[in-house]
Every structure is written in structure tokens, then in C-alpha cells.
Chain A
């Protein structure tokens, strides 16, 4: 006997839904097709369903089905199931029918298969084909006793036409329960398509002393000598470590008193010279960030809130003069309640910073703008979860995938397949670790740079290896955006990995034996980490020591310069006849004073030498990608990368030599923006060197 299959036919504006007719056609192929049609138009639609394959149609014409979702239809089918036992209830995959299936399944303990692409019976056994996970096809069945539910995928079947077929019609005599009229459709809307902290006491002393002084710009006359004297002598590329992350009360800075006394002294030292105007990539492209305003904003916040901060601890109270001064104006009172972050200093200003340090480099009184900006970002990220929305996926990806993208980190070494590059796990004695970085490992354009670096190392017969999946994001973008927690998570894991291969250059005396390398019996000679990413370079070199990882790290341009000096690679001198200019990446230039090595390499290669841009070396103008900006949208003002590209084009150079994957990405985008792709190539120094090596090789072979 043929299986009976029910199909609930949905109505759309009084017509049977096409998706339902597709399912009805399939049901007719499988057995005896019985349609159920409910709603005010049911009676007019029912007689037409025979032509789509129905042998029988159950009809209940009632407007309640149109006004209330799901439950009236569930009740009616439940009633029908008390009288009949079809083999299957087949449903199209629509919102309403999915809801209906879920409830019927529970009410009658039916068994249910969703996402069916096809189904048939083999003897008594139902076989339903379900695509699964993009790669698999699963065959699923339901018990042969009782009625089961199958929801089929859209467009799985064609509408069948059974010309002239008439279905038997049974009009249902059912009273719909009031309890089922719960989910009421009220309206239908159609849319057109379309730092180191100091004891509190000394901070109070600094405040008491300074708040006595006139609140004018001339205050700097007194403060500047102190500021230069107390200048930070830690590596300038390092942000201060945030200690005891798990036990702290506060994260970052939202109130002026949370800055260290040295940071506050900056505000007093500022001469308001405005020189940053010439150099700041944000100020220069119409962003609301003016580095001076950050420093003065901190000072202003301190002034307006000084009474709250100091309480009774003013100089006046200390020397016994009470009640002075009570001259707070209405404006001051209002400012009193304006928060520093998001008030006196706008969050747009904080997010506009590329952390390029040009302002710090040019500041005549050694003010440190960038660490303050990052401190306030830390507050926004770690205390307020208030940051540009697009950064959420960056954080999640770094945390889960150990790279900034939705890419499985297991594929980190895929770029090197076929190049004969060993992993550290295969070559643990390698003298040089090539730290590829996420951009070199996963970004299409920068994989070419990674390949060039590998070719150079091979040509120079360097015993090197890469970490592959053992390498995690260094955490640099997270730290610059203010997510210290995520940076520490990444850094700790990387330090553990690097130490396990014996790269740590410090000897650990605390537990009575030498570093991991000696323990593992690996040679003790210092081993080098090289990287083509200035951001990886800076954080490993200057910031990993904060967590106990001290390494010999060099940027690839420096390493290539050394290989040339040691004559490990021979290059055809002056082989490149194109006119070259060079862009100093902030994180090797200003952050680490690497200016000469890249230029020396280019000078060997180029017959024309290096044509300098208007702003170069320590005055280099950022590409716009630092400080996590590469991961944020640039919604305000002109684009930084286009501003820099225009400067490069002004030199008339045919090649813009770069030394950072972020610069390359920003410039590739910028040059398209100014429609000058045909005027200038953007190449990493490693790529130019690798080409020269190829030329040399061919030359040697010929002769």
C-alpha cells in the first residue's frame, strides 16, 4: 500500500506558496499526497491543488490562521493526527513551517529531519538525504511506526503539474481554541529591497605643589626642566606593562589622577608649540586628534577636578590658610562633571592615533603622547568595552585562532609549502628563526614577501626554520588598541614557545639552572630571530622582556644588510635601474632607530641610489596602519595612506620600497585610491633583493 504523505500548503496573499507546491509535487511521487490548507482563502485554493499532485485536500477556511501564528495550525494538525496516521508530514523550509514542525514534534513525539535535499523509501525504510557541513552527505531515517516530519530545503524539488487531476476535498469541522490564539500578528511591514605607579602620598605632593602655580601656558617654564630630566629611558618602543591583570581594581586611565606623576608633569611641561601639526598623520588628514590637546586635556581635567582629587590636601590647607580659593565659575562647575575620556578628550581623537610617535619625536620637551593615548584606550577597551565595532572580530580571532582572521592557525606554514623551509620542530638547532608574522603567513600580498625572505635566507645558506602553527600573533595590534589582557595572553604563549627552543638570551638564576636552551642540551650560542614585520619586531624586542622573554631580534632589512657586509650574498651592484624611494616604517624607524640599514641595501641594488621623500627618517609620515588602525575603518577626513602615497609620487620614483607588511597593504590600497597603480610599484626590500639574487644566479649560470 502506498505511503500517505501530508503536506501543509501555506498561503501567500490568497495563493498557494510555491515552496509548498514543490513539496506537494515530491509527495505525489512518493505516495498518496494529502494536502492541508488553512486560512481564509483555503476554500478557493483547495480545488486547485489536485493539479499539483494532491489526491486529497483537508480544508479549514478560517481567518484566525491568518491572524495568529503557528498554534492554531498546530492544533488542527494535532486533531487530524488523532484520526489518521500518515507516514510523513512534509513541510517546506519556511519560518512559519519550521515553527510548526518544532511544536508538532514535541506534542506527538514524532521524529523530525530538517534540511532534507531528497528523500525516498527503500521498502519500508525512509531514506532522507541531508547535506551536512559543506562536505558530507548524510542519510537519515525515522522509525517506520508513527508519523514523522521532514522539512525539505528550498528548491529541492520542481513544481509538478498533474493536468486535469481533481483531489477529493474534506472540509474540516473544527472549533479553534482561544488558548491557541496567543501569537497575534499586529502589523505587516514590507521593506523595499535593498604605568609604573607611585605611592599616593607623593602624587598628592606633586598635585599640591603644582596646583598652586598659575594656570597659564607659562607654567611650562617651571615644569620643562623636570620633564626632560625625568625623561623615560626605557626602550621607546615599549608600552608600559600592566601588572597583576587578574587582581587589579582599574584598567587603564579614565581620570587624570590615574596617570603617573611623570605623565601628569607632561601637561605642565607643554609649551603649546603645536609642532606636531607638521607631523601627525591624524591632524594632517582631518581627524579630530591634536596631540597637544591630549596633553592639555589631561591638564584641564586635572584642574577642573583638582578640588575633588585633593579634598583637604591643598597647599593652602597645609600651610594653614583656609578657604582659598573658592572662585569656581559656573563653567568650571559644569566642566567639573565632564569626564576626561569621552568628554574633555573625545574617543574619536583616541581612536584616530596611529601610534606613529611622530609627535613624541618632534616634541621639544620630551612629552610622551602615545602611552597616554593607549592608557585611555585601555580604559575604553578593558573597562567599558567601548571601541570601534570592527575591532571585536579582530579580538575574537586573535583569541581563538591566534591570528587576526577567521583562519585556522594550523595552516600558518602553508605559504612555505614547496619552498623547502623547515619548521623549528623539524630543525630545532636552527641558528636563525624566521618569525613570519600573521601578514607574511596569511595575507596574499605579503606571502610573496615571506617567500622572498625565505629565498634570501636559502641563498645565503643560513640554517633557519619557521615556527609554523606554533607561532601565534604577537598581540601587537591588541596591545596598541588597548587590550593588554589579550597581548599578555599571546605574549606568554609565544615566550614559552621561543624559550622551549632555547632562544632566550637571559640566564635564569632563580631556579638554580641556566636557560631552557642549556637544559635541553642545545648549543648556548646566541641565536637570532628575524622578522619582516616591524610590529612583531618591536613587541618581541622591546616588550616581551617585560614578561621574561629576552631575545636577539633583528628586522629583515638589518639582517640582509649584515649578509651583504659579510658577503654571504652577492648582488649585482646597481642592477635595479628604476628610480627608488624608501618609506621608513614607524616601528623600525622612530621606534627602534633603524634608518641606515635599509638605505644601504637599496643603495647597493639601485643604480640611482635612494630618492628621499619630503618627510623621511625620523620625520617619516605614517602609512596609517599602526596602532591597530589597519583593523579599523577610516571614516573621518582624508585617508592617511593616500596622503603618504602622494608624497611618494611627488619624488617621481617608479618604486616605493617598503619594509613592513602593514605599509605594503596600506599603500596598495592607497595607490588604488589615487588611481596611480601604473605610476609606481610597491615592493618590499626583500623582494627587490630576491630579484637581484635571481639575476645574479642566471648571470653566473650563463658565464
Chain B
């Protein structure tokens, strides 16, 4: 089975306070520590587990991003992914989720993917719109928020997380599956993995290679426009209640006001 996993390099969410450039209105990516999205580490583990249980399968990582994203893809290869495809093109800067899904779908179509794994959402933008977007471009079913994935013959079966439990959902393959964060244990690369990653196939593609018109992606293709960037207003001082027998009622009223009760 040809398994694909869509990944992204992002500013390290643990140490970098993400900033927006007031001029370009885009995420500041220079001068900050960039890492493979920690959510994608989990998704990669899911893909590798599937490959190893099914046998006769390979895992390919696909990403869209600047040339620096190669480093994140090397990490994926070190974890055990078999090969990597990076789409990089100056015209891609400022792409929205629609543009991103368009580009990734174009790669996956060329590759005749059997199963496409994505993280439920990235750990920088958090929109969660790309997996469904890819599925729509390719006309495939989407099994999202999965905490477990199984392939049973020509069906993919997932446990889909819900706020109160889970659903068991199935669809025919090929399909897009999005993996809920924390569902699998990330793989720490072995030395063999790190050294082997340098020798694994690494393809770099441009928009022209994919036959995509630059006007459909990047800032040119984005429908959304950022108008202003402001700071969050400082939080007003809280209210101190002294209990004179009526505090419980006051707290209940307060919670009621915000529909928390």
C-alpha cells in the first residue's frame, strides 16, 4: 500500500511565541527555531505502524514549504519514512488552506496514493482545513479525528474521537485520514535512521512541475485578507468576592452570565 503523510515545518510551539509580520501580515519564520510539527510526529508514527503491520507498503512524506522545510522532512525520514517530496516555490508564499490543499492534492494525485494521513490540524495555524480540502480535491472520503486506524481489505476503519467517546467510522480506500494529536507515540530516531535519512530519496517539486497556475495559490490565490494586527487587550482586574453568606449566589450568577452554568 502506498501511504502518504502530509507534514509541515512550523516555529517550535514550545519555545517560540509566534509573531505576525506587520508588513507582510504573515507568520514570522526567520530567526526562530523551526521544527517538524509535533502533531506530525504522531501522524508519522501512525503511518509507520500501518506500513509495518500491513507489510509490502511504503510511507512517503509530502510537504509544501520553503527550502528550510527540508530539515523537518529529514527528521521524518530519520523516524522511518521511506521517501520525501517537498513542493517549494516562491509563488507559494502566503497560501491559504485552499491553496495548500490544492498543491498537496496535486502531488498525491500524481502519486496515486492509496492512503493519505494528515494531522487533524497544524500546531501553528490550527485551522484543520487541509485534510478535508485534500479529500475534496481528490474526490476521496475523509476519516477525521482518528485515534486508531485499521485497514480491512478495501476498507479503512477508524475510531473517531468525539467529545464524549468515539465513533467507529469506515470508508472505502483510497481515503484521507486525519490523526488526532497524542494518539500514537512519536518515534525518536535511531542513529541508523539519522544516517540513513541522508541517503533516502528526496524529491523537490515546483508549481510548474505540478502544472498549477501561480494565480491559484500563494497570496494571489488566497481569498482571505488580513486587515489589521493588534494586541490582545490587557485583562481587566478580576473581581474579589468576600463571603458574607451570599458568595455562592454571586458566583453562580457570574457563571450564569457567561452561560457556564
A residues lining the B interface (CB < 8 Å): 69-71, 95, 98-103, 105-107, 109-115, 127, 131-143, 148, 155, 158-159, 182-191, 193, 245-246, 248, 251, 381-385, 387, 389, 392, 395-397, 400-401, 406-409, 485
A-chain residues with CB within 8 Å of residue B233 when the two chains form the complex: 137
Task: Determine if A112 and B164 form an interchain contact, defined as CB atoms under 8 angstroms apart.
Answer: no
Rounded to whole angstroms, the CA-CA distance of A143 and B225 in the bound complex is 8
Given A105-B129, A114-B128, A136-B229, verify A142-B224 contact (CB < 8 Å). Answer: yes
Task: Determine if B230 and A185 form an interchain contact, defined as CB atoms under 8 angstroms apart.
Answer: no
Given A105-B97, A186-B169, A189-B166, verify A138-B224 contact (CB < 8 Å). Answer: no
Q: Select one of A103, A138, A409 contacting B132, CB under 8 A.
A: A103
Binary per-residue interface labels of chain B (200-238) against chain A in the complex, 1 for a CB within 8 Å, 0 otherwise: 000000000000000000000001111111111100000
Is B189 interfacial (CB 8 A cutoff)? yes
A-chain residues with CB within 8 Å of residue B144 when the two chains form the complex: 95, 98-99
Task: Determine if A139 and B228 form an interchain contact, defined as CB atoms under 8 angstroms apart.
Answer: yes
Interface of B is mostly: mixed
> Can you list 18 residue pairs at the A/B interface with Cβ under 8 Å?
A98-B129, A100-B132, A102-B101, A103-B135, A105-B98, A106-B137, A109-B223, A112-B223, A135-B17, A136-B20, A138-B230, A140-B227, A142-B223, A142-B224, A183-B170, A186-B167, A248-B191, A381-B190
Binary per-residue interface labels of chain B (135-169) against chain A in the complex, 1 for a CB within 8 Å, 0 otherwise: 11100011111000000000001001110111111
Task: Determine if A143 and B223 form an interchain contact, defined as CB atoms under 8 angstroms apart.
Answer: yes
Task: Determine if A184 and B169 form an interchain contact, defined as CB atoms under 8 angstroms apart.
Answer: yes
Given A136-B230, A141-B227, verify A109-B128 contact (CB < 8 Å). Answer: no
A-chain residues with CB within 8 Å of residue B259 when the two chains form the complex: 155, 158-159
Q: Select one of A106, A148, A395 contacting B136, CB under 8 A.
A: A106
Task: Determine if B131 and A133 form an interchain contact, defined as CB atoms under 8 angstroms apart.
Answer: no
Task: Determine if B141 and A137 form an interchain contact, defined as CB atoms under 8 angstroms apart.
Answer: no
Would you list the 7 A-B pairs with minimal beta carbon distance, nearest first?
A: A102-B132, A111-B223, A406-B14, A106-B136, A133-B18, A182-B141, A408-B15
Binary per-residue interface labels of chain B (97-122) against chain A in the complex, 1 for a CB within 8 Å, 0 otherwise: 11001100000000000000000000
A-chain residues with CB within 8 Å of residue B50 when the two chains form the complex: none
A-chain residues with CB within 8 Å of residue B193 when the two chains form the complex: 385
Task: Determine if A189 and B141 form an interchain contact, defined as CB atoms under 8 angstroms apart.
Answer: no
Rounded to whole angstroms, the CA-CA distance of A629 and B72 in the bound complex is 30
B-chain residues with CB within 8 Å of residue A400 when the two chains form the complex: 12, 14-15, 33, 35
A-chain residues with CB within 8 Å of residue B133 when the two chains form the complex: 102-103, 105-106
A-chain residues with CB within 8 Å of residue B167 when the two chains form the complex: 185-189
Given pairs A245-B191, A251-B190, 19 additional interface contacts (CB within 8 A): A95-B144, A102-B131, A102-B136, A115-B126, A115-B127, A132-B20, A135-B17, A135-B232, A136-B20, A137-B231, A138-B226, A141-B227, A383-B191, A384-B190, A385-B188, A392-B185, A400-B14, A401-B14, A408-B15
Is B195 interfacial (CB 8 A cutoff)? yes
Q: How many positions in chain B have a CB within 8 Å of any CB in the partner chain?
A: 68
Task: Determine if B168 and A102 form an interchain contact, defined as CB atoms under 8 angstroms apart.
Answer: no
Given A133-B19, A183-B141, verify A190-B164 contact (CB < 8 Å). Answer: yes
Q: Select one of B18, B127, B137, B189 contacting A114, CB under 8 A.
A: B127
Task: Determine if A102 and B128 form an interchain contact, defined as CB atoms under 8 angstroms apart.
Answer: yes
Rounded to whole angstroms, the CA-CA distance of A568 and B127 in the bound complex is 62
Cβ distance A494 to chain B, nearest Cβ, rounded Å: 18
Is B16 interfacial (CB 8 A cutoff)? yes
Is B182 interfacial (CB 8 A cutoff)? no
Rounded to whole angstroms, the CA-CA distance of A141 and B229 in the bound complex is 12
Rounded to whole angstroms, the CA-CA distance of A182 and B139 in the bound complex is 11
Is B91 interfacial (CB 8 A cutoff)? no
A-chain residues with CB within 8 Å of residue B186 when the two chains form the complex: 392
Of all chain B residues, which has the CB nearest A180?
A: B141
Task: Determine if A183 and B171 form an interchain contact, defined as CB atoms under 8 angstroms apart.
Answer: yes
Specify which of A95, A110, A191 lies most central, judged by the most chain B CB atoms within 10 Å of its CB. A95
Q: Select one of B132, B164, B231 contacting A191, CB under 8 A.
A: B164
Of all chain A residues, which has the CB nearest B20?
A: A136
B-chain residues with CB within 8 Å of residue A183 when the two chains form the complex: 141-143, 169-171
A-chain residues with CB within 8 Å of residue B97 when the two chains form the complex: 102, 105, 112
B-chain residues with CB within 8 Å of residue A70 when the two chains form the complex: 132, 142
B-chain residues with CB within 8 Å of residue A186 when the two chains form the complex: 157, 167-170
Cβ distance A121 to chain B, nearest Cβ, rounded Å: 13
Of all chain B residues, which has the CB nearest A247?
A: B195
B-chain residues with CB within 8 Å of residue A111 when the two chains form the complex: 98, 223-224
Is B192 interfacial (CB 8 A cutoff)? yes
Cβ distance B236 to chain A, nearest Cβ, rounded Å: 16
Cβ distance A628 to chain B, nearest Cβ, rounded Å: 14
B-chain residues with CB within 8 Å of residue A384 when the two chains form the complex: 190
Is B172 interfacial (CB 8 A cutoff)? yes
Cβ distance A389 to chain B, nearest Cβ, rounded Å: 6
A-chain residues with CB within 8 Å of residue B189 when the two chains form the complex: 385
Rounded to whole angstroms, the CA-CA distance of A134 and B235 in the bound complex is 13
B-chain residues with CB within 8 Å of residue A133 when the two chains form the complex: 17-20
Of all chain B residues, which has the CB nearest A104?
A: B136
Task: Determine if A246 and B195 form an interchain contact, defined as CB atoms under 8 angstroms apart.
Answer: yes
Given A138-B20, A143-B223, A189-B168, verify A485-B135 contact (CB < 8 Å). Answer: no
Rounded to whole angstroms, the CA-CA distance of A134 and B126 in the bound complex is 13
